[in-house]
Structure formats: structure tokens, C-alpha cells
């Protein structure tokens, strides 16, 4: 009897395609990104497109080129896409605003919402993260990223570190990796994304109405959510919103029935909870997370946390 090899436990798939047919490219890319009424203009005598991707049921790393001028509506569901350009130009129009992608600067594409894209001779990398997988790490069934927002400087460094550390292992399909390594790599990418990119919070729907005051209040909330880890207070929040400290206090009280301190404390508690749920209890502590989010007194932090979430911070960390 001939010896048999044990069945592979490596569940990664690999796809590689190259072509010059524009219609074939639109069919292929449109399957993943739901192109709607695409309009193509050739930029050279012979068009070129290629795609390579390695993935499993949690994540994939994708690289593509499409050397044409493409305009289309697009939409993705079921996956979060972190994208950055290598070459060419790309403008995405979303919620009435144009966003020019910068070479090498990753952003999260809009999720479950239609946006317009204009690619010109584009070369792009994409990290796809399965939505339910990311949400299971966060512990929120309706979690979403804030679309098309730049990462923080610290988040950018962390994201680039993960890309450098794990991409070559993930893309090397000639060598098997274990299910444990597969999951660890997927968690590393997801955790880096959660740390790097702004997250869509329920506060965006909390400010009803339009007008200068509403816009300034939304800027205040946006500033708090982006800088909550930093030593900010009422003066910094008011300045970012274009309000006086007194004006900020009045606006928050009128529309949200909160003080600036209430707002900042709530955002920091939510951020601390997200970190406690997704971090490894063997590599962090409640005190570490509390300090990172500006809580200097551990006892008061634990009491406030329990009042808001119905459990102690240590219980949230253990649930991981």
C-alpha cells in the first residue's frame, strides 16, 4: 500500500487572474464589489487587468490592477474592506463628499452603502475582513467602521507593522499553516484595524437637524471620538467645534442633555470596554486599559464601568 498524506487543515484559497478583456474584468471585479452601470474609457491601446488574492472564511489579502479609466457605483456587504492605492488615482464619492485616496494611506471603504468610485489606471491593495468575525471580536452585533477616514498616526504604525509582519506568511500558499496560525493572523489584522480606524458610533444619529449649530456639535462629537485617548477637555473640544466653552456646554445640554465631561467619560468607557473585550487577558490588565483611556483611579473606573455596563471590567476581560 502506498503511504498517504494526512488531509490538509490549511483552508486558505488562492486566486490569480490576468487579462486584457475589459468586459471580463468588469464581470470579475463586479462580482466582488457590485459594480452598477460601470463606464469605462481606455487609457492605452491595450487594456490590462490582474488580480491575486489569498483568503479564508475570516479574511483575505488582495492585490489588483485595472489600467483603464473607470467610473461606477459600488457597494459591498458582509465584509469590511481596508484599501490603499499603490499607483494611479482613485476618488470615492460618499455621502455627498469626494475623497481622494492617497498612495499608501489605507482607509475603510463604505459598508453596506452605495458609493461612487473613479479609478484611473489603478493599482490597489485590499484587506478583506469578514464582518461577523470582526463583530465577534468587538462584541457588538452592529459594529461598523467610519468610512473613508484616515487612521491615526499611531494606528497607521500599528497597521503597517501587522502588514509587514504577517503578509508574507499569509500569501505563501506553497507552505501550509495551521488553523491556529490562520486565526492568529486574521485576529492580528482585525485588531490592528480596530486600533487604526475610526469607528462608526451611534452618536452620529443622536444630533437631529441641520444648520450651523448642529454641524458644530457634530464636529465636537467627532473630535471627542477621535481623540478620547488623549488629554483633552472642554477647551479643546470647544475649539475643535468652533464654539466657546460656554457655547459647547449649552449646545450639548440642549441637544443631548450632557455636559462635556459626560460626553468624554462615556466615549472613554465605550473605548475601554471594546479594548477589554478584544484583548488577550494574558497580555494586558484592567489597569493598563484604564490608564490608556485616561482613568487614573482604578476603583472609580471599575465602579463607573459597572454602572454603565452591568459588569466589572475584569469580567469583560475574562470573557475574551
Determine if the pTM surpasses 0.75. no
pLDDT for position 1: 43
pLDDT of residue 2: 42
Q: What is the pLDDT of residues 167-209, one digit of tens each?
A: 999 999 999 999 999 999 999 999 999 988 877 655 555 666 5
Q: What share of residues in the chain are helix, strand, coil (percent, to 5)?
A: 45, 25, 30
Write the CB contacts of 59 (distance below 8 Å, at least 6 apart in sequence): 127, 128, 129, 130, 133, 185, 186, 189, 190
Residues in the chain, pLDDT under 70: 1-7, 200-210, 319-320
Predicted pLDDT of residue 264 = 94
- Tell me if 13 sits within 8 A of 55, measured CB to CB: yes
CA distance 285 to 283: 7
DSSP 205: G
pLDDT score recorded for residue 204: 55
pLDDT tens digits, 15-49: 999 999 999 999 999 988 889 899 999 999 999 99
Give me the pLDDT at residue 80, please.
97
CA atoms within 13 A of residue 123's CA, in its CB half-sphere = 6
Q: Residue 82's beta-bridge partner residues?
A: 108, 127
- Residue-range domains of the chain with CATH: 13-193 (2.60.120.10), 202-318 (1.10.10.60)
Q: What does the alpha-carbon distance between residue 40 and residue 315 come to, in Å, rounded to a whole number?
A: 54
Q: Which positions ≥6 away from 156 have C-beta within 8 Å?
A: 105, 106, 150, 196
Amino acid at each position: 500500500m502506498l503511504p498517504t498524506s494526512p488531509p490538509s487543515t490549511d483552508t486558505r484559497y488562492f486566486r490569480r487572474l490576468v487579462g486584457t478583456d475589459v468586459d471580463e474584468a468588469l464581470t470579475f471585479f463586479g462580482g466582488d464589489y457590485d459594480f452598477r452601470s460601470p463606464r469605462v474609457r481606455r487609457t492605452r491601446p491595450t487594456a490590462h487587468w490582474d488580480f491575486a488574492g489569498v483568503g479564508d472564511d475570516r479574511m483575505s489579502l488582495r492585490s489588483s490592477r485595472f489600467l483603464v479609466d473607470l467610473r461606477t457605483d459600488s457597494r459591498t456587504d458582509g465584509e469590511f474592506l481596508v484599501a490603499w492605492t499603490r499607483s494611479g488615482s482613485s476618488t470615492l464619492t460618499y455621502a455627498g463628499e469626494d475623497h481622494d485616496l492617497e498612495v499608501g494611506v489605507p482607509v475603510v471603504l463604505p459598508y453596506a452603502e452605495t458609493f461612487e468610485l473613479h479609478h484611473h489606471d489603478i493599482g490597489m491593495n485590499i484587506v478583506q475582513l469578514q464582518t461577523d468575525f470582526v463583530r465577534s471580536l468587538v462584541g457588538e452585533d452592529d459594529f461598523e467602521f467610519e468610512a473613508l477616514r484616515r487612521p491615526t498616526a499611531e494606528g497607521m504604525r500599528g497597521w503597517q507593522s501587522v502588514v509587514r509582519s504577517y503578509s508574507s506568511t499569509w500569501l505563501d500558499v506553497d507552505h501550509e499553516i495551521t488553523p491556529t496560525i490562520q486565526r492568529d493572523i486574521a485576529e492580528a489584522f482585525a485588531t490592528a484595524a480596530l486600533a487604526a480606524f475610526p469607528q462608526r458610533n451611534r452618536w452620529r444619529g443622536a444630533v437631529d437637524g441641520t444648520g450651523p449649530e448642529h454641524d458644530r456639535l457634530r464636529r465636537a462629537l467627532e473630535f471627542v471620538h477621535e481623540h478620547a485617548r488623549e488629554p483633552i477637555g472642554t477647551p479643546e473640544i470647544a475649539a475643535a467645534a468652533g464654539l466657546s466653552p460656554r457655547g459647547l456646554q449649552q449646545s450639548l445640554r440642549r441637544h443631548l442633555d450632557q455636559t462635556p465631561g459626560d460626553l468624554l467619560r462615556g466615549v472613554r468607557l465605550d473605548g475601554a470596554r471594546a479594548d477589554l473585550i478584544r484583548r488577550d487577558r494574558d497580555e494586558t490588565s484592567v489597569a493598563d486599559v484604564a490608564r490608556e483611556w485616561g482613568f487614573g483611579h482604578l476603583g472609580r473606573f471599575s465602579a463607573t464601568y459597572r454602572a454603565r455596563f452591568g459588569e466589572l471590567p475584569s469580567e469583560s476581560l475574562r470573557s475574551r
